[in-house]
Structure 1
């Protein structure tokens, strides 16, 4: 490929970039290079430029496709030196032209809130009033928390009285400044490493002035939380120097402002709040203002002494408690904090977008309510025809007894608008249809359909819209996940401007929680409160650390909404313990069950086995005659059994350890083969837990590893799902010998323990054995789900379930503290635009990193063939997505076992294999691997290993991307590639 490099570097970056570019390309101008180069060579150039990059670096790269056309590929360094096409702009300006815009000039003695020159008192009142009205729009009965929104709004930016901010904000050069995280001082001579940000100063002022305020005691914690967290916490290199207590903030402020500090905290703050209070009284035509109750008119110098060591509000507080009531109380508190904070941040953004003239006009003419209505109209789903589309869908179903019962269930769910409702029912009973009918009866303008995993989103998207016979012919349906953003089908990407506005948006819990665990997407919580919500397969969150508590916060926030809760939790296995003890629901009233019309017979088999055996003696490895699903708790077991039977059976393998393209292709193949009236291309499916929920497929026989009651019945939902078998459907549950005799710890026990479900899984297994006469009884689906309900009434089982639940809550508290407690933002660094998404620092799914691995062919299971190919290549065009792979940091680092630490091996060997001279430390490589262009290598091709000793240098724990003639097998460790007989 022929490429051209254009440099717009300055200062010392000129020499550095010229040395790199001169080594690879011919200089054809002072700032231009051109050469023929391979894709690998171009990636090397890009990486070398990045290593030497500084603030003065700016290099663009263009691919010469023909004489008449070039394609912009990427920029290293400052993208501001180029336009969107990578072209150097000439004779352009981003500044306002004096002839076009009426200039406002700062007036001496006036205090400003931002570079729009909004008066601070107007800004504070407007944000407080808009936040209050916004809260009341959603929660008209929660007046106390609306008051909290008002007071926090009136005091959120009081810290901008800081003389340092005021001297900065009036400078003409800052007129067009727009920070991504609000208005903060942006000056190369100024450092927030030594100076508090305005939200920190605001929190200090409120703490001091509200010390003796008695009228707001109940809501004071929510006010403190909203004021401090209306901006993300600033990341500081010298964090231990301290901005974590009120005393430390005061000391930092005093060291910079000296005697002015006392005036800022007392005289100036009180005068400003008195002014805001007067504006409030005039606006509301009232003699009193709620704001007067929130602060003292006098400042006691001794007040701060009481708070010198008091920490600032934590973003999330969850105790490491043995009591579920403690978690329930904190869920409620955190949910309320989410609501108030979201309203404050949204109000701040709306008001800050106004010109100073418009803001003044809104206040003087009492039109702030109009601003709220206008903005809500822009942000909430517009009038749609969703209800009529749903009715058209329902009319297509026959008027059968089953349809009539489904309608009766939907009506019962829709009758009570105040409570969170739960739809329970066996797999295949039509829960999706009932949920749609419920939304239609409730007059839904938009449905946000929330799923626990991307694969479930794919299945739901296919079922509702992207199949040959979709539920909804005319409605717009969007899938919105980290990797899939399409509308109506998988061939139509959703433009960014049209995302999240379809009639039905199918998304993951991760996307929804981004409004709770981040700052930039905080206003998404309001979109969540505006739409009708369906939480599909919600039981999956219950044992997932962090998700179980944060999900509960989202559910609690639907209570007392102005137009009803409009939330439906859907699951065949609703986990009655969680509903009662964490969500505080009445399972006899709030849960509505749809009975199954499947009258076919089912029977359990219980088989003990030695889990160390990987041959026909192990039921998970056996070849079967019927159309069979063999479902393992882990992907590795499914992979090994698939490889073992590669030449013996017509099977397909599905799990989560694939690159994105293979995952999508295999998901489609599985669905097409095993769906109702499917192609039947495959006889067997070997799978991890990925198929156990919301995948409308069926088999004639099932084998499953021992698991929880929820997983057990979810898997059974794929056994004769469509009720077509006349023979008794047999469901085999396999139990490791060491679990049966309750002695020793094997792989299954370790997995269940790490997922907080070992005790409840054992309880369910024993309950099934006792109540099925050791597998000799035959049941209907109705009978089995009655057993499931009875299980949650058994005191001995409930005790074990509670122990697992508390273990899960403790892990949640630790994970939330580590990952969610402090949304942070980098300071003194301008964020550059990026085309490829990186892994978030606050990911709740675990510490994952992008990885690369060599390909291995296992058609000969005893002699794997290591081939000269890597799992994927990185496109040179940054607009193209990377077909990447990820892995947990625990796996990369060997789960604490130094002999399996692939990262340490990478540190020592990679620079010799891939070129370069400098080996890096572990944490540097892990940090770089959040970018898909800098993956950690978990294995190398044979030729690449030659640089470090050849085949003998292959790491024993290396992880390869296995393939065979039939399909991709996915990421699997070297030691699991071959079948070894004992």
Structure 2
């Protein structure tokens, strides 16, 4: 009787271990070929489930199917260690070359970890998760599993030949990024891990759905169509009578420069279009042309906040006339849990096997999700990494990167460009000095816009006015200042640094002028809610109605909206520049003003980077260093000066310091000297491995934002409620895949203390055994979004 990998739920058909291993081998190798490591990745697929070649696993899976209500203990049969142990025993002897030992370690870790996340080669307690599994753990009938593999699936000679070919691939990868060999090996391990995870789940899905492998997207044909539609749209804009304005002519010129620049080889480039200069479409024009010229597989937009994903994706969908192939990925819908992968057959398959792998031709996602894809240790995040290869990756408002992730982002960009053959575009009007820090981007290959000084001066349509003072502004004083400004400015945007003071000012303005039309924006609202609010505000602006919009900094990055007046609470110069970009955005008036105030009720003690940024900007305002430049405070030299001082002030935090470890995540993933020295001191010998990264530990502590958050689904409008109802049903794998896309605009990230309080109020609904969380209607407010202090006030229209 053949050994069993899977049993189909619909008809009880068996997929043998041999069939599954060969299927995953092909897919994983295909993913690896994108960066020239097809043999390395295919070995991972070939060996990942060798441990299922056993009577014990066959009995386990049969019992799980026959007794769905009382299945065997999850993970009671270890099937993931055997493949890694085989590699260690056969290819990690002292007589093996170092390159082969490296391959054995990379693949061994990938295989033993494919249901739980990559393991540490060396942990903080100076043990090795990897050695514990591949060397020390005793596996019943291990020899029988290996013999069955050689008999039914692949000979030892064939495996040895693949290993030899893999060594050549490894050497080639190291040559592409020789300055950072340790980091390159770490990234390569994560890349192969991604190939295996996606191949394993995809092959399992094909079997479960009883379908053949999908034909890959014909992206070159799609990109050709997209390029034609974008060109046609831009030509129509040029024919419009409003296109003759100075700003629109400059936008058209910069857009054309992006088209022309796309003929340059793949590299890391800056696109420093001034705020309001049409970055989204200009960068799309570059990306489509570059993809067609150099055969790139997909285009990925990485934005700082979920706020602008909906807006940008909607605009691109409208212009390209495609609602199917453009993916928005705001956040992870499913909470990650460590799993053996032996999911309860009928119930867990749709959630586990649903497509969530960034295979779409155009993707809009956040910096949080991008960095999680590379540095988080969860299998759901890691699955997407290989689809970053051979792509055009556009970072919109890259200066919004959290300071602690600076070194990690820079090295990721180096790997993606040099090894993964991706082209990187760093877009912002305020370019951060990423070449100033120690762990820097190795090479900024050029600026797309050639006449940048001339364009920056021509785009000046707003002036910063310093209204900071020694005592600071209180909420009541600020409310009165806004009302006074309304006498001369019919619409005003106010941006403050914390949600608390935004809400307080909202209530104060309502009290001071009950008839005033006021809207609120914050990250407590889901993307759909924020987008609807923005549309209402834009409608008021178009009709010339008096309106006030209060927001946290989320409105600054890329939101296409223009106010006659902006008031900005003191922050970093990059934030001030972005706020100014929401004022007189299209040059409707000759000159308008952005007032910079210092709010004395903002508590920035837990927002260190905002606090330091505000201090540096405050000093620049007091010293009036900028008056010598035509562009004023936002001149390129002032921006460079600001970022150099910002990075200098925070130089000890660029590598992502973890206080509880007294160590840096960057170090854990590279040399790991601290633990290596401690190991030698304790053991009196070197670690008997070529690799010594603490990948699992780094993943455990890695969070892009300082406080841990969880994504929850909110019942906003009819569709939010409908999605919750559908998830509460019994969707198929295909239906679940569609739901995971559909649900994105209705997610909100809440901090742990907020989630605990919501749970105490019994406002959290647990779907799919707690792997998806949703809120009750009483916890979502029609004005402020997720609310804890009092019951929400959802409009009857939404219920």
Give the CA deviation at 1:456: 0.6
| Kept after mapping to 2: 8 A contact 1:342/1:523 | yes
Among candidates 559, 574, 587, match of residue 417 of structure 2: 559
SS at 1:289's partner residue? helix
SS at 1:684's partner residue? strand
Q: Partners in 1 of 2:576 and 2:251 — Cα distance?
A: 27
Give the CA deviation at 1:703: 1.9
What is the aligned partner in structure 2 of residue 291 from structure 1? 163
| Kept after mapping to 2: 8 A contact 1:386/1:503 | no
Q: Partners in 2 of 1:541 and 1:734 — Cα distance?
A: 24
What is the aligned partner in structure 2 of residue 767 from structure 1? 620
| Kept after mapping to 2: 8 A contact 1:692/1:715 | yes
Among candidates 158, 166, 173, match of residue 50 of structure 2: 158
Q: Partners in 1 of 2:632 and 2:789 — Cα distance?
A: 45
Q: Partners in 1 of 2:325 and 2:262 — Cα distance?
A: 22
What is the aligned partner in structure 2 of residue 752 from structure 1? 607
2:553 is aligned with 1:656? no
| Kept after mapping to 1: 8 A contact 2:402/2:705 | no
- How many residue pairs end up in the alignment? 672
2:532 is aligned with 1:665? yes
What is the aligned partner in structure 1 of residue 431 from structure 2? 574
Give the CA deviation at 1:410: 0.9
Answer 1 or 2: which has greater helix percent.
Answer: 2
SS at 1:960's partner residue? coil
| Kept after mapping to 1: 8 A contact 2:301/2:396 | yes
What is the aligned partner in structure 2 of residue 207 from structure 1? 88
In structure 1, stretches of 5+ residues that fail to align are 1-105, 178-184, 283-287, 296-324, 359-370, 486-495, 738-745, 824-840, 854-870, 894-901, 915-921, 940-956, 969-982
2:399 is aligned with 1:535? no
| Kept after mapping to 2: 8 A contact 1:277/1:291 | no
Q: Partners in 1 of 2:116 and 2:477 — Cα distance?
A: 56
Distance verdict in 2 for CA 1:752–1:848, change over 3 Å: same
What is the aligned partner in structure 1 of residue 79 from structure 2? 198
SS at 2:585's partner residue? coil
In structure 2, stretches of 5+ residues that fail to align are 8-12, 120-124, 168-176, 334-353, 670-693, 728-742, 782-786
What is the aligned partner in structure 1 of residue 40 from structure 2? 148
Distance verdict in 2 for CA 1:164–1:199, change over 3 Å: same
SS at 2:559's partner residue? coil
SS at 2:586's partner residue? coil
What is the aligned partner in structure 2 of residue 383 from structure 1? 221
What is the aligned partner in structure 2 of residue 805 from structure 1? 654
SS at 2:465's partner residue? strand
2:236 is aligned with 1:396? yes
SS at 2:266's partner residue? coil
Q: Partners in 1 of 2:749 and 2:182 — Cα distance?
A: 33
- Please list the CA deviations of residues 272-331 of structure 1 after superposition, one character each: whole Å capped at 9, or x if unmatched: 55986648659xxxxx71437999xxxxxxxxxxxxxxxxxxxxxxxxxxxxx9x98776
2:450 is aligned with 1:598? no
What is the aligned partner in structure 2 of residue 432 from structure 1? 280
2:784 is aligned with 1:932? no
Q: Partners in 1 of 2:6 and 2:299 — Cα distance?
A: 37
Q: Partners in 1 of 2:29 and 2:794 — Cα distance?
A: 61
What is the aligned partner in structure 1 of residue 339 from structure 2? none
Distance verdict in 2 for CA 1:706–1:752, change over 3 Å: farther
- Please list the CA deviations of residues 811-833 of structure 1 after superposition, one character each: whole Å capped at 9, or x if unmatched: 9949999999679xxxxxxxxxx
SS at 2:446's partner residue? coil
2:694 is aligned with 1:847? no
| Kept after mapping to 2: 8 A contact 1:328/1:583 | no
Structure with higher RCO (Cα < 8 A, 6+ apart): 2
2:683 is aligned with 1:787? no
Distance verdict in 2 for CA 1:168–1:153, change over 3 Å: same
Q: Partners in 2 of 1:477 and 1:351 — Cα distance?
A: 22
What is the aligned partner in structure 2 of residue 726 from structure 1? 590
Q: Partners in 1 of 2:596 and 2:445 — Cα distance?
A: 30
| Kept after mapping to 2: 8 A contact 1:620/1:630 | no
| Kept after mapping to 2: 8 A contact 1:758/1:804 | no
Among candidates 325, 336, 344, match of residue 188 of structure 2: 336
What is the aligned partner in structure 1 of residue 31 from structure 2? 134
Give the CA deviation at 1:435: 0.9
| Kept after mapping to 2: 8 A contact 1:633/1:689 | yes
Distance verdict in 2 for CA 1:736–1:512, change over 3 Å: closer
TM-score in terms of structure 1 length? 0.57
Q: Partners in 2 of 1:350 and 1:484 — Cα distance?
A: 19
What is the aligned partner in structure 2 of residue 71 from structure 1? none
Q: Partners in 1 of 2:524 and 2:255 — Cα distance?
A: 40
Give the CA deviation at 1:628: 2.7
Among candidates 701, 709, 713, match of residue 577 of structure 2: 713
Give the CA deviation at 1:877: 8.0
What is the aligned partner in structure 1 of residue 122 from structure 2? none
Distance verdict in 2 for CA 1:852–1:150, change over 3 Å: closer
Q: Partners in 2 of 1:540 and 1:561 — Cα distance?
A: 26
Q: Partners in 1 of 2:432 and 2:268 — Cα distance?
A: 15
RMSD: 5.5
2:305 is aligned with 1:421? no
What is the aligned partner in structure 1 of residue 561 from structure 2? 697
| Kept after mapping to 2: 8 A contact 1:632/1:687 | yes
Q: Partners in 1 of 2:284 and 2:104 — Cα distance?
A: 41
Among candidates 223, 228, 241, match of residue 112 of structure 2: 228
Q: Partners in 1 of 2:27 and 2:495 — Cα distance?
A: 53
